[in-house]
Amino acid sequence: MDTMPRTPAPHRLTRERHITAACALDTIPLLAQRVTSMLWWGRRISVAHHWIGPDSRIEIAAGLTVNTEMGDRAVRATADDAHAGFAVHLAPGIRGFGFAAYASDGNTTEREVWKRYHAGDRHNITIIEMDGGMLGDGGPGRDDHVSIQYWNEHRVGQEWVVGFDTDDLFRVWQERENQGWQLGRESLDIGYCKAFAQVGAYRVRCGFPLAGDACAGADDHVEED
């Protein structure tokens, strides 16, 4: 991610399958279009999150889907002269992802963002790495993914890695489902355990149904950091 793009953003972001881009008012509409293309297939989604730094534990949520109950608000892109943003809301409501840029932070153009990034000024900066989502793709690719690295106003960084169906994380969802995760048409926001659990090598949301305050999967619970 340390190489500044040399070609104009529209050409690069629409014609190259693997891209690294800085979020700015001039790039977010194109990035949002590509991510939306990956969602059209109704795919299961996995999201891994961690703080950038040593000894950071990775939190993984697998088996998610776009929250269709929200209608058009589930996948939403916004843009004006001062701001551009993109958000994806996922069911069962424990994870989502997105990115945004504000002109007031010096993020009007991608070139401005890369200039700050390489000068070591990493406050309010978001860097995207992506495979897939190109217009004209014949279907979902096995390597489709989105990595979002974001540094806030205090220069503290986080990363989200979004994978789609064929990712190994999907098997974590399947394993948890077999142990008792409730599936069906009903919302999972109410009546299931949101504690963390250890499933094999992965740390995921528990997902077992609650009976009063008791969780059937409590034996797998682990403490939050």
> Which of 3-7, 64-68, 192-196, 205-209 is least confident?
3-7
The three-state DSSP-derived secondary structure of the chain is CCCCCCCCHHHHHHHCCEEEEECCCCCHHHHHHHHHHHHCCCCCEEEEEEECCCCCCCEEEEEEEECHHHHHHHEEEEECCCEEEEEEEEECCCCEEEEEEEHHHCCCCHHHHHHHHHCCCCCCEEEEEEECCCCCCCCCCCCCEEEEEEECCCCCEEEEEEEECCCCHHHHHHHHHHHCCCCCCCCCCCCECCCEEEECCEEEECCCEEECCEECCHHHECCCC
Picking from 126, 135, 141, 114, the residue whose alpha carbon sits closest to that of residue 86 is 126
Domain boundaries, the chain: 9-164, 169-220
Q: What pLDDT, in 10s, does the model give residues 42-66?
A: 788 889 999 998 777 888 888 788 9
pLDDT at 31 exceeding the cut of 80: yes
Q: State the pairing for strand pair 45-51/59-66.
A: antiparallel
In whole angstroms, give the CA distance from residue 146 to residue 31.
Answer: 10
Question: Model pTM?
Answer: 0.71
The predicted structure's pLDDT at residue 84 = 96
Question: pLDDT averaged over the chain?
Answer: 80
Q: State the pairing for strand pair 202-205/196-199.
A: antiparallel
The predicted structure's pLDDT at residue 88 = 95
The predicted structure's pLDDT at residue 191 = 61
Q: What pLDDT, in 10s, does the model give residues 91-110?
A: 887 679 999 999 999 999 99
Percent of the chain whose predicted confidence (pLDDT) is above 90: 43
Q: Please, are residues 52 and 158 in contact by the beta-carbon 8 Å criterion?
A: yes
**Exposure string for 135-174, b = 16+ CB within 10 A, e = fewer:** eebeebbeebbbbbbbbeeeeebbbbbbbbbebebbebbe
